[in-house]
Chains A and B, each alone.
Chain A
Amino acid sequence: MKERRIKARNRYRWDEIRTAIICLAPAAAIFAVFNVVPTVWSLVLSLSDWDWLGTARRFVGLAQYGALLRSPEFWNSLRVTVLYTTGVTVLGLVAGLTVALCLSGNVRARAFWRSVYFTPAVTATVAAGVVWVYLFDPAGGLVNLWLRRMGLPGPAWLTDPSWALVAIIMVSVWKRLGLNTVIYLAGLQSIPDEYYEAVSVDGGGVWAGFAHVTWPLLAPTTWLLAIMSVIDSFQVFDLVYVMTSGGPMGATEVMGLYLYRQAFRLFHMGYASAVGWTIFIFVFLATLLQWRVSGAGGASIYGASTR
């Protein structure tokens, strides 16, 4: 049975092929027009010098990539993006796992708490960003109001170069929390109770249960969430655009924003395409890493199932 399903037939009837072509054509056409063509075109552009209207397109080889590597602004945007990605990924995982552990036990109104934590995940990013701008307002915002009430001095969050990125990371973690929690919860539920019973038979406590059962068995889930978070974070744009526009002094200028500014504010299409392909290379490397790690995830009881 299985054999038959996997082995491809080497002959199809003509009308089968025709039906397949007709069914696939719309999707393939859309994919080609909106994905393949722009991707190839942007690769061509990244090897050219072109400022849109009224300028001739010149082939310049890898000059745009050379200019990019020499630009301190590009390196700043890479640094900011890596900091942002690391912050969001690490804090997001810690927060997600913590909430999931709290909710997996016998909690009253569990469904209610789950939806509470999931609400940010389904809120429009731009709308959430605008609201957080108000919350972070140094003079009248709720965040500093509460800090003052607790006797703590509140920074000028979004306009202080040392705090702006921290504030944006906090909002991103808040937004990812629901997703991370739900996936961790699913992971927790698939761990059989017998393992914990074995730990207690051996005299282990709650911590031993976490260290020797929960954490290792959640490793595939953690990896999946980490890679998803890295891929998403590397492409962040909307939240930063709404909250700080990359300021102050470039403290939050992530690569997506840098690309946008070069392409649609300064119209350096060649240079911006080179930035785009550089982002692609990083995301591609992260994806490769995911394949390798999830494929070789020996610590997992799921073994090949996550492959």
Chain B
Amino acid sequence: MSRKWGKGLLVLGAILFGMSMVISAPVLGKEQLVLEFWHYWDGNNAKAAETFAARYNQLHPDVKVKPVFVSTGELLPKIQAAVLAGKPPALAIADIAWMGRLLRSGALAPLDAYLKERKVNVDDFYPSLLEYSQYKGQMLALPLTTNNLALFYNKDLFRAAGLDPERPPKTWDELVEYATRMTKKDGSVYGFEMYSQVDETGEGLTWNLQPYLWQAGADFLTDNYTRPGFNNERGEKALEFVVDLFQKHRVAGLARKDSFGKGQAAMVVNGPWMVGIWKDSVPFEFGCAPIPYPEWGKPATNMGGEQIFIFKGDEKREKAATDFVLWLTDTANMIEWDKMTGALPVRASVAKDPGYRQWLQGVEPRLLVFVDQQRYAHARPPIPEYADCSLAFAKEMEKAYYGRQSVKEALANAEKALLAILQKK
């Protein structure tokens, strides 16, 4: 019997030894610090991440930045699980909508000392973006990309309806007028496409509606994000405008996804990433313009984007990861990143750079609309309760879009739901 035991142990030992050889082999060869960089990018963004990582690795043979893809929906849960398990990646990016939660997690490494030591001009980053980078006076992340929403319009459908394709609508009234002219009675073409389904998070609906609130002078949350700011006359005007698109004018279809790309909607509001996607995939000519706003209101759009941050770890790893982040976000690299991906500048020095503007003008003038609109972009509340607020808000608005409750009821119910969420904390 004991011989059998001995044999078993021997086999086990051999297996373990073999495994340790496999695992340690590359490490033994070269003392290299591997920095996992988690992201959810695909397409041009993923290519840019690989390109910049490779370039950095060539400059720093002792470090290996390794971009790792995690799908959008899984990134935040995975980060949370990794942090709880004590094995976070070296660095990651996240949508600004998640930063409220991440900044409070206690898992991010403060960057202040490094920024000071390297004399980084933090003021060059747009202050509205830095709202998502700081918590309790500490800099815990840096803006990497940003974007905003603008109007896309199908020039072919404009021409077919006898509209001037170089003169997109500027006001809400014009938007309704143009959309009415382009809507086909049989439902095959709508004049406008508006995101109207709650989906998983409600955020798609919410962030598409917020610009109209801001244009009308209402707010999503007000008083330092402590209470809703939309249940008032200005909020009513904004929601009424959107509900009328579905219910009164019938120029938008409920829960239609990607109608614009299929030529089934003449206008849509979307982000700059769609310029690159539609440029190669739609058989019609399209243009971009600022989101129309009422004569009595003011221009406004919603701001999206991503932040890059470093997880607490041993000092050596933190330092190496910070070096990569500061290198990646310097003006020269940011210009190149934005050219590769179509992301909007997060630094004033990039937006003003004559070379960058000239490149935009020549290659993709439609992106200039987004770059210039950035000054009207509003930030969504960087608080951890935002996800709950966004979902609760979207659920009430959806009912109004479907005509199941009035504009006033929807705003009052949403206010009640959001107050309950905000007061719970």
Q: Give A contacts to B, CB under 8 Å.
A: 15, 51-54, 138-139, 156, 158-159, 161, 245-250, 261, 264-267
- Contact size class for B? 20 to 34
CA distance A246 to B264 in the complex (A): 25
Task: Name the B residues within 8 Å of A52 (CB-CB).
Answer: 80, 84
Given A248-B402, A249-B399, A264-B77, A53-B254 contact (CB < 8 Å):
no
Report 6 cross-chain contacts, Cβ distance below 8 Å, ordered by A residue: A15-B1, A139-B188, A158-B255, A161-B402, A245-B200, A248-B197
Q: A138-B187, A249-B404 are in contact. List 20 more A-B contacts (CB 8 A).
A: A52-B80, A53-B106, A53-B107, A54-B384, A139-B264, A156-B254, A158-B255, A159-B197, A161-B402, A245-B200, A246-B200, A249-B198, A249-B399, A249-B402, A261-B201, A264-B73, A265-B201, A265-B387, A265-B391, A266-B391
CA distance A275 to B81 in the complex (A): 21
Q: Among the listed B102, B197, B388, which residue makes an inter-chain contact with A53, where contact means beta carbons less than 8 Å apart?
A: B102
Q: Among the listed A51, A248, A264, which residue makes an inter-chain contact with B398, where contact means beta carbons less than 8 Å apart?
A: A248
Q: Which of A51, A158, A265 has the most CB of B within 10 A?
A: A265
Q: Give B contacts to A, CB under 8 Å.
A: 1, 73, 77, 79-80, 83-84, 101-102, 104-107, 187-188, 197-201, 254-256, 264, 384, 387-388, 391, 395, 398-399, 402, 404
Main secondary structure of the interface of A (DSSP, over half): loop
Q: Cβ of A267 and Cβ of B80 under 8 Å apart?
A: yes
Given A264-B77, A266-B391, A53-B83 contact (CB < 8 Å):
yes
Task: Name the B residues within 8 Å of A265 (CB-CB).
Answer: 200-201, 387, 391
Nearest to A269 among chain B residues (CB) is B80
Nearest to B83 among chain A residues (CB) is A53
Given A54-B106, A159-B197, A247-B198, A266-B387 contact (CB < 8 Å):
yes
Nearest to B103 among chain A residues (CB) is A54
Q: Cβ of A53 and Cβ of B402 under 8 Å apart?
A: no
Task: Name the B residues within 8 Å of A51 (CB-CB).
Answer: 384
Question: Nearest 9 A-B pairs (CB), nearest first?
Answer: A159-B255, A54-B105, A53-B105, A54-B104, A245-B199, A52-B80, A53-B80, A247-B197, A264-B77
Task: Name the A residues within 8 Å of B254 (CB-CB).
Answer: 156, 159, 248
CA distance A288 to B102 in the complex (A): 44
Task: Name the B residues within 8 Å of A158 (CB-CB).
Answer: 255
